[in-house]
Amino acid sequence: MPRKYWLPKAKPAQLLVVQNFRAKLEAYAVQLGLSPAEVTEALAMCDAIVGAINIAEQCKQSMLALTQWRDDVLSGEPLGSAAPPAPVFPVVGATTYERGVLKQFAKLRDQIVSSPGYTQAIGEDLGIIGPESTRPAPGSITPDLKAETSTGYRVNLTGSMQGMDALRVEYSRDGGESFQTVAFLTATPGGFQIAPANPNQPEKGVIRAVYIKRNEEIGNFSASYPVTVS
């Protein structure tokens, strides 16, 4: 069964992979043929990845706190009372940082996978092989969408395409008994316009969508999402 790519794109998920790898690498060093110098270098590389991700996130949180502190100083109550100390940004510390550490990490991963002592169990324990890709049964696929409206009688949809070719979107006016196709979206987020029954008047209705694959309807219709367009 095919597997997904082993390194996630999201930074929090990358952080978990690297932290797990760092905690377990030394236990497999001999079996994987890694020298003490290579292990030391690998651990330092992991520290750089963890540090870069954590420091950036801490600075982001500090910036939010600093904005709140600013607003408190400018407009807080009671008037004339002492403001709390300003938030302090984190110190980067003594870790050595080099450019491209994620690429270096990927190269080390490939070196490990190519080692004569490597096994799939080691790869799974180190977190350097992706999870198996599983395809849901066609009948169980249901779009899970979020609908938002904007001016000009537009509706914007977000949600996963789940590998399908398109979403066929249907609309039913409030009080109507039938749905009419109003859009085919080949990617999300995506938007479309609804023609109101009475021009220049707001209109309520509901939309729903179903996946299309190779011109065939796949799975179930989504829930019906109420919208008010204007």
More confident residue, 131 or 207: 207
All domains of the chain in start order, with CATH: 11-126 (no CATH), 140-229 (2.60.40.10)
Q: Which residues pair with 190 in a beta bridge?
A: 157
**72-96 tens-digit pLDDT:** 999 999 999 999 999 999 888 788 8
**123-161 tens-digit pLDDT:** 999 999 988 766 667 678 999 999 999 999 999 999 999
Which strands sit side by side in the sheet containing 154-158, from one edge to the other? 146-150, 154-158, 190-193
Query: What is the dihedral sign for C-alpha 14, 17, 23, 27?
Result: negative
- DSSP letter string, 49-89: HHHHHHHHHHHHHHHHHHHHHHHHHHH-SSTTPPPPPPP-P
Whether the Cβ atoms of residue 14 and residue 8 lie closer than 8 Å to each other = yes
